[in-house]
Structure 1
């Protein structure tokens, strides 16, 4: 299978590190014209420098797409995309009874409304052209709501509802909408979360992450954290021409954490 994104314009929100950066690399290697996004000019410029080795064309947009202002500014500067990957997201453990309204609202705006705004802005153009791909990067936590991150799980379940409903809304247009559900993944955010344990034990990040999976996600079949490239591969496939019959789906890259046969 040869996946080719030549002449395709691709937006990846939250893509200066982790899964988003790996996705950007994959699209560039496949010939795509990629726009990466981060909150600061410095972060975007650093990511662009690192990605330049992979060929293709890469541009950047600095702004917090969890805000309406930044989304509007992006739309004015870049009015059309063929592929939109809604990767922007935040997470972090916090007890339900210690999570104030402001944190619920912040998680909702960043994890959910960023994707809503971008899909609402770019899907009409895709429909007119008769081709497009919208991908929401959700999580296995959408199905296995973590008791220490209920506010996070809520936003990831919300993404599934939006992606399924929007896929039906765009039926017959040539535009597909899907969600990808990573499990525990060795992203920069997870590395930061596990840093204290790495420092305490002296073990490698991979070993500490595997121990975390075995302790906290005992249903995992691969018995380790996924690599960001493994998640990116699914996102690239579902964004490709070859995935034209896949829409309204929740595609797991969770290492078997979700204990279900469907």
Structure 2
């Protein structure tokens, strides 16, 4: 299968590192014009420099905006050109016991993980409908279906994304615009690497070994028995954004390594 997205413009939110950056790179390598987003000009500039090295032929740009509030979403949408592909990757997570997490914790997760996608989809999808083609992807999590006891607020926000994506897919049915969710499991992203940096230095173990131990301890149902790479997650997203994926809409597509123990 050869995916060619030349002539299409893609926005990937929170794409200065981790899964978001891998998605932006994957889309750029298919020929799409890619707009990356981060919270600061410096993070966007650094990511653009890295991305230009990985995809020197691509047309790239970046917009700094914090999508954790309506103002930031407005700054981003006001600066955008016409967008054909929207990847709602912006998200936060924080360990907090249910009985200790306050309203601010819940509100922060809701605004970033859910409302950022609501606001951007509301602003950008109407033009996709007019053109008769578009792709919207929400980056959810296996935690949407396997809600973690130590991050109930996070799990709830990720489950809400599935409802949002499914409902929006129904709203745009038959239009040529598809809406899907992708659910990563444990992934060797920048955040996970940072979490193990001190242990790696202390133990001398490789990052891959430490993350595998983490997966087998905390996600023992994993069928691949390791963390996924960011590129493995990005591969699924790039496909869902492609012209070849036109019969897939309203789906929750797992890249969780089989962590969620069911057949659906």
Q: For this structure pair, what is the TM-score category when the shorter chain's length is used for normalisation?
A: over 0.9
5+ residue gaps in structure 1?
none
Residue equivalent to 2:177? 175
Query: For 1:187-208, what per-residue CA distance to the aligned partner results, in whole angstroms no more than 9, with x for missing partners?
Result: 1111222333323322111111
- Asked if 1:149 corresponds to 2:180, the answer is no
Cα distance in 1 for partners of 2:175, 2:108 equals 33
Q: TM-score w.r.t. structure 1 length? A: 0.98
Deviates more, 1:208-217 or 1:86-95: 86-95
List aligned pairs for 1:48-59, cutoff 5 A: 48-53=48-53, 54=55, 55-59=57-61
From 218, 221, 228, the counterpart of 2:220: 218
Question: Cα–Cα, structure 1 residues 257 and 226, in superposed 2: closer, same or farther, change >3 Å?
Answer: same
Q: TM-score w.r.t. structure 2 length? A: 0.97
Q: How many residues align?
A: 262
RMSD over aligned Cα atoms: 0.9
From 71, 74, 80, the counterpart of 2:73: 71
Residue equivalent to 1:98? 100
From 216, 241, 249, the counterpart of 1:247: 249
Cα distance in 2 for partners of 1:214, 1:196 equals 20
Residue equivalent to 1:24? 24
Residue equivalent to 1:227? 229
From 178, 190, 193, the counterpart of 1:191: 193
Query: For 1:27-48, what per-residue CA distance to the aligned partner results, in whole angstroms no more than 9, with x for missing partners?
Result: 1111110000000100000000
Residue equivalent to 2:7? 7
**Runs of 4+ residues over 3 Å off in structure 1:** none
Deviation of the 1:92 alpha carbon: 2.5
Residue equivalent to 1:38? 38
Do the aligned residues in 2 keep the contact of 1:35 with 1:60 (CA within 8 Å)? yes
Deviation of the 1:80 alpha carbon: 1.9
Cα distance in 2 for partners of 1:162, 1:200 equals 43
Do the aligned residues in 1 keep the contact of 2:63 with 2:79 (CA within 8 Å)? no
Do the aligned residues in 2 keep the contact of 1:79 with 1:122 (CA within 8 Å)? no
5+ residue gaps in structure 2?
none
Cα distance in 2 for partners of 1:199, 1:160 equals 38
